[in-house]
Structure 1
Amino acid sequence: MGNRAVVVGGGIGGLATAIGLRRIGWEVTVLERAQLLDDAGAGISLHANGIRALDVLGVGAAVRAAAHPQYTGATRTPRGSRLARMDGRALERALGTPIVGIPRSVLHQLLRDALPPECLSVGAEAVSVDRADPRRPRVRLKQGDLDADLVVGADGLHSRLRTELFPDHPGPAYSGSTVLRAVTEGPVALDADFELTWGPGAEFGHIAFADGRAEWHAVLNSPARTRFADPLTEVRRRCGGWHAPIPSLLAATRPEAVLHHDIDELVVPLPAYTAGRVALLGDAAHAMTPNLGQGACQALEDAAVLTAALSAESTVEGALARYDTERRPRSQAVARAARQAGRMGQQLTHPAAITVRNTAMRLAPSAVTVRTILRHARWTPPVVR
């Protein structure tokens, strides 16, 4: 088996994969097309499966030290009435670790710190992959070509490699929701580590960080590609009259800090995550809605499983077959569950349907919420040999 890999994409999945491959003795080059690593993004929650995948890769301890555990949380109505409680202590007892919140920029930096600087090539855009030699794919860049024994496509939602490998696939589709999010400028007073509030066709949530700041997001039903002249004012119009601490979170946010992205997903599942010696992972393979908080966790699972498969199998082809067999059913099932969670949660608009959902949630014991999270966060990590 050869030992040179090219990873296309320097996001969470790509960096995690590079860390794993280097851990088992591979030479790795990560291609990131951005000219500047600005780490655009707000915050992220990592469930136990994501943390355990990071443990497999050897960086779990560093992420835990920088993150804030989510022990207290709830789902509420705009007036503040509680629909469900999240018991982070119960999750920790069941899984060995709580959900944690961390700024995306901090997570990116921790992953980069685990790699030597020469491993990451910034401003390097992969144009295509030449697979004429089935054992030696060639990544074509605007600046030149790179030969490899393995190419990993971690190039995100609008993956160029996915389009090249599966030209008949329809690609990402708009979910019907758009998200505005930001990190507060300074610390804010919060009564819960994590909270969601559901109004008609809208969700507002926050994640507490270790330094006292918080990430907030507003997910809104909206026509595709709608943009607002003043995003923060739009969030205040939709959610500013909701219960505390939502007004305080918005007041602690600079207007220019608000990010706005439509939520696209791969509704049509891919028939495979591999082709020859090319593997897709993360959003390139299974972009999903954020309703279960599993997008990044599934990418981290991808990285851990791919690393373990390459450490155990005698050929790249055998390792990629194992990776596809293990990852495609699980990640696609999580994507379907996330889509359904959005339809029954934030996307509901009919008053009668909202009343039925809210009543069912109030009557359900807190253990039901825990079991729902456990269904996706419970995962046995692979052994890296």
Structure 2
Amino acid sequence: MSDHPVLIVGGGPGGLTTALALQHVGISARVLERAPALRTAGAGLTLQINAMRMLEALDARAAVAAAGEPLRSLRVANAHGRVITSMEMASFARRFGGPGVMIHRGALSQRLADALAPETLRFDSNVVSFTQDADGVTLTLEDQTQLRARAVIGADGIHSRIRAGLFGERPLRYAGYTCWRGIASCSRPLGEGVASERWGRGTRFGIVPISATETYWFATANAPAGGSDGDDPQAELLARFAEFGDPVSALIESTPAPVILRNDIVDLAPLSRWTTGRVALLGDAAHAMTPNMGQGACQAIEDAVVLASCLAERGDQDTAAGLAEYERLRMARARSFVDRSLRLGAAGQWSNPLAVWLRELGARLAPAAIVERGLEAAWQVEVPKLDARRALAAKHRRPEVRARWPQWAGQRAAHGGLAY
């Protein structure tokens, strides 16, 4: 199977990072993307420090950072803009080797794609089915082309076809609120590197500068699932968030109505497995989470680096065991973010006046040390050392050494799943 590549289904940030990580350890990989070209549209996101540390291991940190805005300060305010709590990021940046980065999703994808070897990306490749045997996996595309793979990684998002093929259709959980997103032509409304989230009654509004000329914003509101906007979403948003005033109103007005996105906020109930044989899930396909902790893309990037490390350690003959090890090392940490993000979002959407007052009081009085410990827990992940020589050595590792590895890896996973 060494002549066959690892095939990655899905060309979003998770799939692209997986290809880059495998490239870094000398494992041949191809990305199958159903779109005709790289997806550069969309909204913004924040690559937190844990994700940037993983990108550092891929020699991609500098390129990605140059395409975004460093996160210097994070503020939480009430609907009228009164700051409830704030956190300066300089000390964290020094401690962890650099800041988080706020970036356009398309810019992130472009920088990751630029780092890949030629011919890694294959567009217009819509996977419709797959089968696997002891020697590999066969993928069938919509045009009936069949591709043979050493392994298949399903990085095809929250509506993953690979997940459905492994475990059947899994219903998504509606969180109880909907979200609008947009990119405004507005230069750093709160200052360079300053992001903010305002909390209202059943509503929130986030402000995230992603460059010197663009600001990503998001707005949430409690609503029944399946709602839609009328003919003038700008006017509806301005009315819904009127009490927030500027710069909220200015950001909405600066965003062309056709590029305002609306999506119900959903997540995926934790799966009991991510892998079967030579097929594995990654990112939203495995652990789609609500966006409240800003960890969706970050956890996909962690997945990618750990997966590449596991496959490099195992070598060609132990692909399935390498994927199972990846699952053991990643599942508990990813699940914790799914759970915490869901709870955080529920609190952020409280609408009862007393509950809102208590929420603001609690945030204002929370000791800085407790907040810092929470951030450190998210960012203090051990980064695997990726080296192409490890993959080469794994091919020649004695079978009895490989046989002992699963028990050792399982013991490490039992103590938090991060000791790799």
**TM-score, normalised relative to structure 1:** 0.94
Q: Which residue of 1 aligns with 2:243?
A: 241
Distance in 2 (alpha carbons) for counterparts of 1:117 and 1:381: 27
Q: Which residue of 2 aligns with 1:135?
A: 135
Q: Which residue of 2 aligns with 1:353?
A: 355
Distance in 2 (alpha carbons) for counterparts of 1:271 and 1:152: 17
AA aligned opposite 1:196: E
Residue deviations 1:254-313, cap 9 Å, x none?
21221111222112x111111110010000000000000000000000000001111112
1:363-382 to structure 2, matched below 5 A, reads 363-382=365-384
Distance in 1 (alpha carbons) for counterparts of 2:102 and 2:242: 23
Q: CA deviation at 1:91?
A: 2.3
Q: CA deviation at 1:360?
A: 1.0
Q: CA deviation at 1:210?
A: 2.7
1:257-276 to structure 2, matched below 5 A, reads 257-267=259-269, 269-276=270-277
> For 1:324, which of 323, 327, 334 is the aligned residue?
327
| Native 8 Å contact 1:163 1:171 kept in 2 | no
Q: Which residue of 1 aligns with 2:394?
A: none
State the SS of the aligned residue for 2:119. Answer: helix
Q: Which residue of 2 aligns with 1:75?
A: 76
1:41-60 to structure 2, matched below 5 A, reads 41-60=42-61
Q: Which residue of 2 aligns with 1:312?
A: 313
Identity score, percent: 38
Q: Which residue of 2 aligns with 1:154?
A: 155
Distance in 2 (alpha carbons) for counterparts of 1:352 and 1:360: 12
Q: Which residue of 1 aligns with 2:176?
A: 176
> For 1:334, which of 319, 332, 337 is the aligned residue?
337
Distance 1:313 1:34, change over 3 A: same
Q: Which residue of 1 aligns with 2:393?
A: none
Distance in 2 (alpha carbons) for counterparts of 1:221 and 1:324: 34
Distance in 2 (alpha carbons) for counterparts of 1:29 and 1:233: 44
Distance in 1 (alpha carbons) for counterparts of 2:213 and 2:194: 10
State the SS of the aligned residue for 1:25. Answer: coil
Q: CA deviation at 1:99?
A: 2.0
Distance in 2 (alpha carbons) for counterparts of 1:38 and 1:13: 13
Distance in 2 (alpha carbons) for counterparts of 1:115 and 1:240: 45
Q: Which residue of 1 aligns with 2:112?
A: 111
Q: CA deviation at 1:43?
A: 0.7
AA aligned opposite 1:41: G
| Native 8 Å contact 1:85 1:369 kept in 2 | no
Distance in 2 (alpha carbons) for counterparts of 1:108 and 1:130: 29
Residue deviations 1:196-254, cap 9 Å, x none?
00111111001112323110000121111101013222221121331432122122222
Most deviating of 180-189 and 45-54 = 180-189
Q: CA deviation at 1:193?
A: 1.4
| Native 8 Å contact 2:51 2:301 kept in 1 | yes
- Which structure's CA Rg is the greater one? 2
| Native 8 Å contact 1:241 1:247 kept in 2 | no
Distance in 1 (alpha carbons) for counterparts of 2:37 and 2:98: 34
2:209 matched to 1:208? yes
Q: Which residue of 2 aligns with 1:63?
A: 64
Q: Which residue of 2 aligns with 1:252?
A: 254
AA aligned opposite 1:4: P
AA aligned opposite 1:375: A
AA aligned opposite 2:182: A
Q: CA deviation at 1:125?
A: 0.4
Q: CA deviation at 1:116?
A: 3.2
Q: CA deviation at 1:112?
A: 0.9
Residue deviations 1:168-218, cap 9 Å, x none?
x63322221211111113435323610000111111001112323110000
**Structure 2 alignment gaps of length 5 or more:** 388-420
AA aligned opposite 2:339: R
Q: Which residue of 1 aligns with 2:395?
A: none
Q: CA deviation at 1:27?
A: 2.1
Distance in 2 (alpha carbons) for counterparts of 1:208 and 1:67: 9
1:28-43 to structure 2, matched below 5 A, reads 28-43=29-44
Distance in 2 (alpha carbons) for counterparts of 1:320 and 1:223: 39
Distance in 1 (alpha carbons) for counterparts of 2:236 and 2:375: 31
1:80-99 to structure 2, matched below 5 A, reads 80-99=81-100
State the SS of the aligned residue for 1:22. Answer: helix
**Structure 1 alignment gaps of length 5 or more:** none
Distance 1:189 1:357, change over 3 A: closer
AA aligned opposite 1:350: N
AA aligned opposite 1:71: R
Residue deviations 1:51-78, cap 9 Å, x none?
1111222211211222211112210101
| Native 8 Å contact 1:76 1:198 kept in 2 | yes
AA aligned opposite 1:323: Y
| Native 8 Å contact 2:12 2:39 kept in 1 | no
**TM-score, normalised relative to structure 2:** 0.87
Q: CA deviation at 1:338?
A: 0.6
| Native 8 Å contact 1:14 1:154 kept in 2 | yes
AA aligned opposite 1:203: R
Distance in 2 (alpha carbons) for counterparts of 1:361 and 1:190: 21
AA aligned opposite 1:124: S
Distance 1:240 1:91, change over 3 A: farther
Aligned length: 381
AA aligned opposite 1:369: V
